[in-house]
Structure 1
Amino acid sequence: MSAKKTNYSYIGIAFILLVFGIIFVPRIVDRIKGGDVTRTESRTKDVSTDAKGYVSDLLFLEINGEAKKVPPFSFTNHDGKTITNKDYEGKVYVVEFFFTTCPTICPRMNRNLVQIQNTFADFEDFGVASFTINPDFDTQEVLKSYADNYGITNPNWHLMTGDQEEIYALANIGFNIYAGENPNVEGGFEHSGNFALIDKNGFIRSRKDDFGNPKIYYKGIISEEEKVDEDGETEEISILKEDIAKLLKED
């Protein structure tokens, strides 16, 4: 990933369109230059009154009229086991795309995830899904060494490798989180520095921004300790922790 700080903001440009003077329709547009693929239209739906049991105030991302779920996937994790989306059923988890030789943002992202891991160490229904975008190099053995070096101990944190086209489709289409090869950037690959938050039923969830629209993803690069980076971007690890806690309370 390029080390330019302008690449830190990939998501979050929201336009509020006033229709018939009373209806606000949020449209989320991701900048390809910033990293994430442009979506046609995305809205959110608060289904707390429709669902049985407790549902938090976090929004459900709605695309083309349906709440967005994690698509089916099947890859090999750092222990050599086949992991699918079904292994995360009943768990709250964070999703990232990374690669082990990333010289810029990945180390910062994974240090933040380890901190989150340690915060929720007592919760058996919390996990992380890390997908490498350089599977040719990031074999099971390489991922295992990476996990050991970073202190990844949560049994529900799987660093996964597999077919590159399937991983890229999962990132760019399944999550609308940009990932791709680029020989002109440091490390040879570029990807979003954002995290996706998934609830126990496999739905992508997020909180509202100041305008009532979904944040959709959470900035994964800036640490809680930093608070802001040199471009004035505010950290979102603290709010991600708050929202994980909310989802863990859901039925």
Structure 2
Amino acid sequence: MSTKKTNYSFIGIAFIILVFGIIFVPKIIDRIKGDDVIRTESRSMSLSTSTEEFVSDLMFLKINGEPKKVPEFSFVNQNGETISNKDYEGKVYVVEFFFITCPTICPRMNRNLVQIQNTFSEFKDFGVASFTINPDYDSQEVLKNYADNYGVSNPNWHLMTGDKDVIYELANVGFNIYAGENPNVEGGFEHSGNFALIDKNGFIRSRKDNFGNPKIFYKGIISEEEKQDEDGETEEISMLKEDIAKLLKEE
């Protein structure tokens, strides 16, 4: 009696499997042929990859609610070439304002920039924009000699000279980096020792401060090796390197 019941059970299970196969297997095959399952998985993976690989957490400097973009500029570089903001399109770059005869902070700033240049030597979409604030002295030839002495090798590192008023306007308004003449200070000029970081689309980018606002600048004077200066200010070159790497991954 128990043997017959067991046989009936097997027959019942086999019948259910047969019915499932007849009804549902063709539908599953149709879905696979129509790529429904593949499309769903592909969409999920695409969104995940895009978010993780191409979007950084760096902030935009916003003016009246709009991200601030680098204004147009055009100057002559150390090689006698005319360089404009368009030459930096599609590139991540660091901006500084300096002058050749600077007796204080400029040599330290440019040694840090050379170190940054060497860190990203394999990246063709990385550059530096150095604008002199003493164009009356810093001619193309003077800038060329300076670049050679400091080991400037990145073809996207342009040391530029031009009209003084235009350069000061670019510094103070365009990049929000102070620069000006002052006969009462050593060297006759005063300027910020900060660097600005620009993304591939020409927007000023930076980390946020403790209040959630963009820091805007990176301290350019203190080296990674020094860690801190005599006033207890912490270096930001390592931070700048990290953020350059982030922007290089963005499209």
1:168 equivalenced with 2:168 (yes/no): yes
Show the counterpart of 1:241: 241
Is 1:139–2:139 an aligned residue pair?
Answer: yes
Paired residues for 1:1-251 under 5 Å: 54-251=54-251
> Which has the higher Rg, Structure 1 or Structure 2?
2
Q: Once the 2 structures are TM-superposed, how far is the Cα of residue 55 of structure 1 from its aligned partner?
A: 1.9
CA-CA distance at 1:197 after TM superposition: 0.1
Structure 2's unaligned 5+ residue stretches are 1-49
- Aligned-pair distance for 1:54? 2.2
Structure 1 residue ranges without an equivalent (≥5): 1-50
Sequence identity percentage? 84
**What is the CA–CA distance in structure 1 between the aligned matches of 2:237 and 2:215, rounded to whole Å?**
13
**2:12 maps to what in 1?**
none
TM-score, reference length from structure 1: 0.79
Letter of the 1:221 partner, please give it: I
Residues in 1 aligned to 2:213 and 2:169: alpha-carbon distance in whole angstroms: 26
> Which region of structure 1 is more displaced relative to structure 2, 77-86 or 209-218?
209-218
The CA distance in 2 between the partners of 1:245 and 1:176, in whole Å, is 23
Distance apart, 1:57 and its partner CA: 0.5
Work out the CA distance in 1 between the residues paired with 2:163 and 2:148.
Answer: 23
Give the SS at the match of 2:230. Answer: coil
Q: Report Cα offsets for 1:88-131 as digits up to 9, x if no partner.
A: 00000000000000000000000000000000000000000000
Mapped partners of 1:152, 1:226: distance in 2:
22
Aligned mates of 2:117, 2:241 — CA distance in 1: 10
What's the secondary structure of 1:124's corresponding residue?
coil
Instruction: State the shift of 1:209 in Å.
Output: 2.1
TM-superposition CA deviations, 1:126-145 (whole Å, max 9, x none): 00000000000000000000
SS of equivalent residue, structure 2 residue 170:
helix
Which amino acid is 2:162 matched to?
Answer: G
Task: Please give the root-mean-square deviation of Cα atoms over the aligned residues, in Å.
Answer: 1.3
Q: TM-score, normalised by structure 2?
A: 0.79
- The structure that is helix-richer by fraction is 2
Q: CA deviation at 1:176?
A: 1.2
Distance 1:64 1:99 in 2: 32
Greater share of residues in strand: 1
Runs of 4+ in structure 1 deviating by more than 6 angstroms, as ranges, are none
Distance 1:247 1:84, change over 3 A: same
- 1:59 Cα deviation from its structure 2 partner: 0.4
**C-alpha offsets along residues 38-80 of structure 1, whole Å, 9 cap, x if unaligned?**
xxxxxxxxxxxxx998221100110112100100000000000
C-alpha separation in 2, matches of 1:188 and 1:55: 43
